[in-house]
Amino acid sequence: MKWALYVTSIVALLAARFRRRPVVLIQHIAGIAFSSTWLRVVMALANLVVTRRMLRAADRLVFISDAVRQELLGDAAWRDYRLVFNGVDGTVFYPPMLPPVGTASAGPVLFVGRYVAKKGLAVIRALAARRPDLNFHLAGSGPIDPSGWGLANVRDLGPQSQRALAELYRSAALLLLPSVGEGYPLVIQEAMACGLPVICGQPSERADPAAAAWLTGVAIDLYDPEGSAARCAAAIDAPRPDAAARAAMAAYAARAYSWQAMAGAVLA
């Protein structure tokens, strides 16, 4: 089962208990930073009343993010769990044949994801407005229309195939994902596999403790897109991983992120 608050997950657990079948619960996220205060309160109560009971009731717990695990189970986890990451297709997502030399400032700042508020689109808009010296390429779709921002340095690429995304990762300067309420977004793992530096919203950079050294986390406040944009700009201007660090990151991603390994761990 994926995520405790899905109605289908609750029904599945009840049905499994009725039929005396073991239950493995794979938890992807914890809280969601809704724009509505009322919805945030409802989410907190739902996690307290429903998610906690689901976590106790499952026979085995799997987390795809250690940050989510800490939020729901605490630093000293109150029950056993497994940390198992989603996989990346290594035949598609891999670094360039020739490693980049020096900084990758010539490429665009790349965003990949749904065009929705929680992904930080307002932050990207504010950042693009304050940094006309940078080009921003956005790959995805959703109710927000970046092409309507009227910013010459923003290009909406629309939805992309996996192979097209991999080429974008290999040609960009960095991946920017100023999102909130995430577990471990797969686009971060894909970018890492392609050797692309990543700037993401906190606490996604702590999802995989072994990968934290390669990820730059930024405090994102959706109610303050200008302040969040300023922090993202500072992260962009900071020194980036050199060619050796990027190669090490890609090699780690190739070893650590595998769908076969994830499936095997869940089956075990």
pLDDT per position as a tens digit, 67-117: 999 989 998 888 999 999 999 999 999 999 765 554 445 799 999 999 999
Is 131 found in the same domain as 79? no
Q: Is the pLDDT assigned to residue 181 strictly greater than 90?
A: no
Q: Would you say residue 150 lies in a domain?
A: yes
Distance, in Å, from the CA atom of 2 to the CA atom of 26, rounded to the nearest integer, reads: 5
Is 127 found in the same domain as 77? no
3-state secondary structure labels for all residues of the chain: CECCCCHHHHHHHHHHHHCCCCCEEEECCCCCCCCCHHHHHHHHHHHHHHHHHHHHHCCEEEECCHHHHHHHHCCCCCCCCEECCCCCCCCCCCCCCCCCCCCCCCCCEEEECCCCHHHCHHHHHHHHHHCCCCCEEEECCCCCCHHHCCCCCEEECCCCCHHHHHHHHHHCCEEEECCCCCCCCHHHHHHHHCCCCEEEECCHHHCCHHHHHHEEEECCCCCCHHHHHHHHHHHHHCCCCCHHHHHHHHHHHHHHCCHHHHHHHHHC
Mean per-residue pLDDT, 180-184: 91
Is 125 found in the same domain as 227? yes
pLDDT at 103: 44
pLDDT at 48: 82
What CATH number is associated with residue 125?
A: 3.40.50.2000
Per-residue CA distances from 236 to 119, 153, 178 (Å) = 18, 16, 12
Q: Would you say residue 92 lies in a domain?
A: no
Is 78 found in the same domain as 134? no
Q: Is the pLDDT assigned to residue 54 strictly greater than 70?
A: yes
Q: Is the pLDDT assigned to residue 34 strictly greater than 60?
A: yes
Q: Is the pLDDT assigned to residue 252 strictly greater than 60?
A: yes
Q: Would you say residue 89 lies in a domain?
A: no
Report the domain count for the chain.
2
Q: Is the pLDDT assigned to residue 193 strictly greater than 80?
A: yes
Is 153 found in the same domain as 251? yes
Domain interval for residue 49: 7-83
Mean per-residue pLDDT, 168-175: 97
Is 114 found in the same domain as 66? no
Q: Would you say residue 225 lies in a domain?
A: yes
Model pTM score: 0.90
The 10s digit of each residue's pLDDT in 196-232 is 999 999 999 999 999 999 999 999 999 999 999 999 9
Is 64 found in the same domain as 192? no
